[in-house]
Structure 1
C-alpha cells in the first residue's frame, strides 16, 4: 500500500492495481500537465497537475465503492479507470483538445490504445483486467462508467474542490464526503423520468442500473451545479485565461503547419514539451515569447451571446479562420495579430443528474428551480472574444464589429468586477 499526503483529501491510501499503475510512464507524465492550463497566469498558485487530481479521483472512487458495497474484480476495474481517467490529456489539459480531435478523431477519454500497450497494459493484464473494459469505463460507458465520467462523477467532485483550493476562490467548495455517501445504483424500471433499457453488464444482458443521489439530496445535487456555475466566470473562463489559451491554440496550429510534428505527437506531449516546441519553431517563436513573458494579446471585442449573429455562432473552424483573415485585412494588421475565440454553446450536463424524490427517480432539471436560473446565468456569462496586440486593439475591434455584424456601441473591451481582486485587471 502507498500512502500519499494530499492538499485536499489529507491522506490517500493506494493499493492493488492502482498502486502498480501510479509509477507507469503514462500516469507519471500527468505530473507535467497542469490541471487548469493557463489559469496560473491569473491565479499564480494554480499550478496543480492532472497527476494529483488523478489521485483524488481514485480516492473518491474508492470511498464510493466502499459505501456502495462494490468489491472484487468489479471494484478493481473502477479503481483502475479512476487512476487512468486523464492519461489521454494533451498539453495544457483541454486547451488543445478541439484541435487534436479535429485531426485525430480522438478526445482525451479515447484511451483504448494507451491502455492496451506499454507498461499500463502490462499492469492491467497482470491483474487479470481487460484494458478495453477499463477504457470503456474511462469513457463513461456501461453501468459503472458514469461514476468516472457522468453527471455525478467523482472526477467533477475532485476538480471543483481542488481548483477552488489552489486558486483561493471560495466558490467551488462542495461536500465530497456527503456526495459519495449518498450515491446509489438503482434499477429505475418504469419508476422515473425514463425507463431503463437492457444492457450488457459483466458479459450478461441485464437491466441497466442508474447512478443517482439517494432520497433527500436535491440540495446536494444543486450544490454541484452552483459550484460549477460560480467557478466558471471567475476561473475557467476568466478573460485572461481565455486569451492565453487562444494564443496557445494558434501556436499549436502554426506548429503543425510549419514542422513535421503530427497531431498524434502533439496529443502525447506534456506542457513542457509543447512550450519547448513553440520556442524552437521560427513561426511560433514570437507567440512563445509573448506567453513566456505574459505579454498577452488584449481584448479587442468581448460580445454577449445575443449580440452575436447566428452565422458566427454556427461557424466551423474553417469559417472562423476566414473571418480572422477578413478582420485582419480590414484592420490593416498582420493575419496572426487577430484571434477570434467563439466558445461552444452553453451546456449544463449536471442538470440531467438523477435524484430520488418520494421514491421516484427524477432528473434534477425537473425537480430544481435553480437549474433554469443557472442556465440563464450561464448564457449571460457567455462571451465572444476577439484578441489582438495592444496597439491594434481599437482598429481590430472596429473591423471585427463590421465583419462579424456586431453593434459597435454594445461591445465591451474592458472587463472589471468579476472578482473582488486586482487580478481581474490583469
Structure 2
C-alpha cells in the first residue's frame, strides 16, 4: 500500500490496481498538465495538476465503493477507471480539446488505445481487467460508470473542492463526505431499462443543490474569468497555427503535456509572438464583451469555419492583421448536474423537476455568458467597432473594455 499526503483529503491510501498504475508513464504525465490551465494567470496559486486530482478521484471512488458495498473485480474496474480517467487530456486540459477533436475525432475520455497497450494495458490484464471495459467506464458506459463519469460523479466532487482550495475562492466548497455517504443505486430508473442508476438517497435535495450552486458560483470567477478566457483563446490560436506551420499532428499534440506544448510554440516562428505574449502575460484585451441576448443567432450557431471567416472579416474591416483578432464564441449554456437524480418521498426524480433553484441558476448562467473579441491593446477600439459591424451587434449594447492605468480589483486584473 502507498499513502500520499493530499492538500484536500489529507491521507490517501492507494493499493491494488491503483498502486500498480500509479507510476506508469500515462499517469505520471499528468503531473505536467495543469488542472485549470491558464487560470493561474488570475490566481497565482492555481498550479495544481491532473495528477493530484486523479488521486483525489481515486480516493473518493474507494470511499463510495466501501459505502455501497461494491467489491471484487467490479470495484477494481472502477478504481482503475478513477485513477486513469484523465490520461486522455491534452496540454492545458480542456483548452485545446475542440481543436484536437476536429482533427482526430477523439475527446479526452476516448482512451481505448491509451489503456489497451503499454504498461497500463499490461497492468490491467495482470489484475484480470479488460482494458476496453475500464475505458468504457471512463467514457460513462456500463453498470456503475456513473460513479466516475456522471451527474453525481466523484470527479466533479473532487475538482470543485480542489479548485476552490487552490484558487482561494470559497464558492466550490461542498461536503464530499455527505455526498459519498448518501449515494445509492436504484434499479430500473431509466425508461425501459434495468441497469442501476446512481441517485442521492431520501432527504438530499439540498445536497444535490449544493453541487449545482458550487459549480454555478465558481464558473464566472474562476472557470470563465475573462483573463483565463483570453489566454486560453490565444493558446488555441497558437495550437492551430502550430499544426499548420509544422509537421506536428493533432494526435501528437494531444499527447503533449503543458511543457511540451509551450516549448513547441516558442520554437515555431509562426507562433513565437503569441508564445512571448503568454510567457510575459502581455495578453490581448477585450475589444467586445457582449451578452447572450445581444448576439445574433447566426453567430451563436456559427461552426468553426464560419468563426474563422468572421475573424478574417473583422480584421479586414478594422485594417489590422488577421492574427490581431480572436473571436471567442462560448458553447451554449448547459447544466448537466440538473439531471442528477434525487429520492423524494420514495420516488426518484430529476433535480431539475424538484428544485426551483435550477431555473434560477439557468437564468444566471445565461446572464453570465459573454461573446468575446480580443485584440492587442493598441487595436481594441478599431477591432471593437469593426466586430460590432461584422457581427451585427448593437454598439450601444456592448460592454467594451475601458483600460485603466492599474488594476484595482480582481475583475480588472
Aligned to 2:34, what secondary structure does the other structure show?
coil
2:346 corresponds to which residue?
Answer: 359
Deviations 1:213-234 (A, max 9, x none): 0000000000000000000000
1:311-348 Cα distance to aligned partner (Å, 9 max, x none): 00000000000000000000000000000000000000
- Normalized against structure 1, the TM-score is what? 0.95
Structure 2 unaligned blocks of 5 or more? none
Give the corresponding residue for 2:43. 43
Residue among 270, 276, 300 paired with 1:313: 300
SS of 1:76's equivalent in the other structure is helix
1:195 match:
191
Say whether the 8 Å CA contact 1:43–1:423 is kept in structure 2: no
| Pairing of 1:305-384 with structure 2 (within 5 A) | 305-384=292-371
**1:408 and 2:395 matched:** yes
**In 2, Cα distance between the equivalents of 1:314 and 1:415?**
29
Alpha-carbon distance in structure 2 between the residues aligned to 1:267 and 1:288? 18
Match of residue 261, structure 2, among 274, 278, 288: 274
Which residue of structure 1 aligns with residue 228 of structure 2? Answer: 241
Residues 76-109 of structure 1, C-alpha deviation per residue, up to 9 Å, x if partnerless? 0000000000000000000000000000000000
Q: 1:387 corresponds to which residue?
A: 374
Query: For residues 176 and 196 of structure 1, what CA distance do their matches in structure 2 show?
Result: 32
Q: Which runs of 5+ in 1 are unaligned?
A: 198-206
- Which among 249, 266, 269 is matched to residue 262 of structure 1? 249
What's the CA shift for 1:21?
0.3
Pair 1:186 & 2:186 matched = yes
Q: 1:79 to 1:421 in 2, by over 3 A?
A: farther
Cα deviation, residue 270, structure 1:
0.1
How much does 1:410 deviate?
1.0
Partner of 2:3: 3
How many angstroms apart in 2 are the aligned matches of 1:88 and 1:120?
13
In structure 2, what is the equivalent of residue 216 of structure 1? Answer: 203
Name the structure 2 match of 1:92: 92
Give the secondary-structure state (helix, strand or coil) at the position aligned to 2:179: helix
- Runs of 4+ aligned structure 1 residues displaced above 4 Å come to none
The alignment partner of 2:411 has SS state of helix
Deviation track 1:177-215 (CA, whole Å, cap 9, x = no partner) reads 0000000011145xxxx5341xxxxxxxxx211100000
Contact 1:196–1:208 (Cα < 8 Å) also in 2: no
CA-atom RMSD in angstroms: 1.2
